[in-house]
Amino acid sequence: MDETPDRRMLEMGGRLLDELPPATEDVRRWRRHLAGYRPDSERSDDVVVWLACVLALKAAAEGNFGIGCVLINDQGDVVARGHNEVFTPWFRGDRHAEMVVMDAFEDAHPDLTSLADYTLYGSLEPCPMCLTRLINSGVGTVLFATPDPEVGMVHRKDDLPPEWVGLSREQRFDRAECSPDLAAAAGQIALLNRADLEQKLMDRRRS
């Protein structure tokens, strides 16, 4: 019997956790937490959000902002995954998790004309740059594990220029249906090195 999409995601995330560099004690602590997590069967998005959190931890362990992202099709299969890559392997100001995933998917499927049946899951609420990218890409549903009051743009979506606001009405943007534990993990992983990396961004302007 074929494995379910959830089982494949759990196996994928397990391999990623096994491959994580030791990094800091904080990373090791969150690795243990995610490795021991048991998905809540009553939360429809728990497994895919868990995978996004694993990817977020991978980002933090590699010296990037701790944000992960997964794109699934209408069968529930992962078609693209990624994490923030702004600082590693080299500096790229546009390599937010959502941008990494959409770049990979759109490059692999140049003839695909509609993403209405696809769902993108992020560990953190998308920033303005990523939100406009997702609107332009036409991903049917965009779900995130936890809000980002400082940088997140979904809760301020109506402040975008009218053209983007109009386009976004064809899409769904919302919180993922995951456990409070995972939502909290996503938020904490995003904060692991955020202050240090934001300072590095500021330092680049002064060099």
List, by residue number, the catalytic residues: 98
Q: Give a three-class secondary structure readout of the chain.
A: CCCCHHHHHHHHHHHHHHHCCCCCHHHHHHHHHHHHCCCCCCCCCHHHHHHHHHHHHHHHHCCCCCCEEEEECCCCCEEEEEECCCCCCCCCCCCCHHHHHHHHHHHHCCCCCCCCCCEEEEEECCCHHHHHHHHHHCCCEEEEEECCCCCCCHHHHHHCCHHHHHHHCCCEEEECCCCHHHHHHHHHHHHCCHHHHHHHHHHHHHC
